[in-house]
């Protein structure tokens, strides 16, 4: 019997923002998994950007939210020097820490959650401090939606809270920060939506033909997150010049200009262009391999669908995503190029039959089930907190 089965429905708050699409997507995926688990929780989505709008300096001056500035940087590929921009951002967050804590404390005092789960970086110090002031004893959990931390002050802070880590590297980083072992929880990978685990019965040959593709040609899926990227044009041009016997599916996200440019491009090989879509599993089902940036969500989705990956890592790569490229090499699930000028050679190498079979087998062996594991972890954390807060547990303490 659950400790809280006879009391009010527990309230679980997921804290996210929309800088990039991965944080909201992770929270939404967990909400779906919790619903499928049939846990009796009231789950609320808490947009941190909306809470902190009053102290968003960029919005006050320009009328544009800081998360929207970040998304435009991604969309335009202006990521060179992002390490320095990150330092400026972290300095601003530190400068406004007390104000952040004040706003968040007032919010928690009103909303009174039973568990707070963060799927965002940068603000976990303020989230933990404000929660402990407003609702002492309420557990606070940070789920890393990057494969590893990018210290200092990115995902992990040396404070009394729980962390859910999707890689051995992240666990090691937590130990190195002297976080107690009881506060470190290991999941088998990154959070991806449960729909990626559902069987797809659509016939690949027929569906490829329906989209104007060749049913027999090796098919690559090119995707750079929800904002797309100018790199997708470069990839199309270089693979076209190389005259490879392949075809491509381009997922452009919310970048309509990019989608229009690709549709106007005269390609030697068949291609299909899609904008923003919730049907990524379907398109990955039609593909044989993935090309994109080393974002933790995209590569985890591709690998869950047994697609070997090709990503780029160089000075333009976001600093928090650089370890992901190393992880791909370590797991031998794809190739990392320094520049997409080398994309044709990487595709040729990947599609060698022996190479391709090995990469697909390595991808299948990962068996990432994080989205289904994490609700159980959260349930255990909340159950333990409920036990500790009951009068009977206090009276039974030794001495």
What is the tens place of the pLDDT at every residue in 150-168? 999 999 999 999 999 999 9
Q: Read off the pLDDT band of 58 (50, 70, 90).
A: low
User: Is residue 33 exposed (0-12), middle (13-18) or buried (19+ Cβ within 10 Å)?
Assistant: buried
The span from the first CA to the last CA of the chain, in angstroms, equals 28
pLDDT score of 392 more than 80 = no
Average pLDDT, integer, range 9-29:
91
Distances in whole angstroms, Cα of residue 325 to Cα of each of 89, 242, 291, 312, 322: 24, 25, 13, 8, 6
Q: What is the mean pLDDT of the chain?
A: 91
Sign of dihedral through CA atoms 111, 27, 15, 73? negative
Q: Read off the pLDDT band of 71 (50, 70, 90).
A: low
Contact call for residues 359 and 98 (beta carbons, < 8 A): no
**Angle between helical axes of 353-366 and 296-304 (0-180°, round to 10):** 110
281 versus 80: the higher-pLDDT residue is 281
* DSSP letter (8 states) at residue 226: B
Average pLDDT, integer, range 14-38:
91
Q: Whose structure tokens read 């959070």? A: 191
pLDDT score of 132 more than 90 = yes
Phi, psi of 271 (to 5 degrees): -150, 155
Average pLDDT, integer, range 39-54:
94
* DSSP letter (8 states) at residue 153: S
pLDDT score of 335 more than 50 = yes
Average pLDDT, integer, range 38-47:
96
pLDDT score of 3 more than 80 = no
3-state SS, residue 170: helix
E strand spans, 115-246: 115-118, 140-143, 162-165, 184-186, 219-223
Q: What is the pTM of this model?
A: 0.91
* DSSP letter (8 states) at residue 224: B
User: Is residue 293 exposed (0-12), middle (13-18) or buried (19+ Cβ within 10 Å)?
Assistant: buried
Q: What strand order describes the sheet that includes 219-223?
A: 271-274, 247-251, 219-223, 289-292, 309-312, 334-337
pLDDT score of 290 more than 70 = yes
pLDDT score of 37 more than 50 = yes
Q: Whose structure tokens read 């009010």? A: 8
How far, in Å, CA of 274 to CA of 352, rounded? Answer: 28
Question: Looking at residue 77, what is its pLDDT?
Answer: 64
Average pLDDT, integer, range 111-127:
97
Count of CB atoms within 10 A of residue 161's CB?
Answer: 22
Question: Looking at residue 88, what is its pLDDT?
Answer: 81
Closest Cα to residue 159, out of 173, 135, 140? 140
**The pair of three-digit structure tokens given for residue 237, joined into one six-digit string:** 């041009």
Contact call for residues 16 and 45 (beta carbons, < 8 A): yes
Count of CB atoms within 10 A of residue 156's CB?
Answer: 25
Average pLDDT, integer, range 236-257:
95
Phi, psi of 7 (to 5 degrees): -115, -175
Closest Cα to residue 369, out of 118, 146, 197? 197
Count of CB atoms within 10 A of residue 67's CB?
Answer: 19
Question: Looking at residue 397, what is its pLDDT?
Answer: 32
């Amino acid at each position: 019997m659950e400790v809280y089965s006879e009391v009010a429905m527990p309230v679980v708050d997921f804290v996210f923002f929309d800088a990039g699409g991965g944080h909201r997507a992770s929270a939404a995926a967990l909400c779906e998994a919790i619903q499928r688990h049939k846990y009796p929780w009231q789950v609320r989505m808490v947009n941190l950007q909306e809470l902190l709008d009053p102290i968003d300096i960029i919005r006050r001056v320009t009328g544009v939210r800081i998360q929207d500035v970040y998304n435009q940087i991604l969309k335009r590929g202006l990521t060179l020097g992002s390490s320095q921009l990150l330092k400026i951002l972290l300095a601003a967050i530190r400068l406004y820490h007390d104000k952040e804590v004040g706003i968040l404390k007032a919010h928690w005092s009103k909303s009174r959650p039973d568990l707070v789960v963060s799927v965002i970086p940068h603000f976990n110090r303020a989230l933990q401090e404000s929660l402990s002031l407003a609702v002492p004893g309420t557990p606070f959990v940070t789920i890393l939606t990057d494969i590893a931390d990018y210290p200092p002050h990115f995902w992990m802070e040396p404070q009394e809270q729980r962390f859910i880590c999707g890689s051995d590297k992240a666990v090691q980083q937590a130990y190195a920060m002297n976080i107690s072992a009881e506060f470190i929880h290991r999941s088998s990978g990154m959070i991806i939506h449960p729909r990626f685990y559902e069987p797809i019965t659509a016939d690949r040959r027929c569906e490829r033909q329906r989209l104007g593709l060749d049913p027999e040609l090796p098919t690559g899926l090119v995707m750079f997150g929800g904002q797309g990227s100018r790199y997708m044009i470069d990839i199309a041009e270089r693979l076209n010049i190389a005259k490879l016997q392949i075809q491509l599916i381009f997922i452009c996200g919310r970048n309509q200009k990019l989608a229009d440019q690709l549709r106007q491009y005269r390609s030697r090989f068949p291609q299909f262009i899609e904008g923003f879509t919730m049907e990524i599993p379907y398109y990955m089902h039609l593909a044989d391999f993935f090309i994109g940036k080393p974002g933790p969500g995209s590569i985890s989705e591709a690998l869950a669908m047994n697609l070997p990956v090709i990503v780029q890592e160089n000075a333009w790569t976001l600093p928090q995503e650089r370890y992901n490229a190393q992880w791909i090499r370590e797991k031998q699930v794809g190739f990392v190029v320094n520049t997409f000028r080398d994309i044709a050679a990487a595709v040729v190498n990947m599609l060698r039959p022996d190479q391709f079979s090995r990469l697909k087998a390595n991808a299948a062996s990962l068996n990432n089930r994080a989205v289904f594991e994490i609700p159980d972890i959260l349930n255990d954390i909340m159950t333990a907190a409920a036990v500790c807060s009951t009068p009977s547990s206090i009276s039974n303490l030794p001495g």
